[in-house]
């Protein structure tokens, strides 16, 4: 990841960026890092990987968009309204 012209090296399970106030984007390993997510006061998680089943159901509300695939046949736009409502309700 590049920040202010310098690459920041972080462990894969701490690779998270705040893209908007209290809205983060991360990878699968980080979404399983319970201490980090609790420290950041994360309450909701959206996942778009069919293999990434919710690991911490007691700690977070999840939206799993498992119908999304990384190919040309996938219409990701059809999932956006549901995901936007979920994120808006989290705030």
The H-or-E segment that residue 28 falls in is helix 28-31
Residues linked to residue 17 through DSSP beta bridges, in sequence order: 25
Those residues whose C-beta lies under 8 Å from the C-beta of residue 3, and which sit 6 or more positions away, are: none
Radius of gyration of the chain from Cα atoms?
14
* pLDDT tens digits, 29-75: 888 889 999 999 999 998 887 677 788 888 999 988 877 666 677 77
Query: Per-residue confidence at 2, pLDDT binned at 50, 70, 90?
Result: very low
Whole-model pTM? 0.73
Closest CA to 28 of 41, 46, 43, 44: 46
């Amino acid at each position: 990841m590049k920040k202010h012209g310098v690459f920041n090296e972080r462990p894969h399970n701490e690779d998270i960026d705040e893209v908007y106030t209290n809205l983060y984007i991360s990878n699968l390993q980080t979404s399983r890092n319970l201490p980090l997510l609790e420290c950041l006061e994360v309450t909701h998680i959206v996942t778009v990987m069919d293999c990434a089943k919710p690991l911490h159901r007691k700690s977070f509300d999840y939206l799993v968009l498992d119908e999304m695939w990384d190919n040309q046949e996938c219409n990701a736009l059809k999932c956006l309204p549901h995901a936007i409502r979920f994120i808006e309700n989290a705030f």
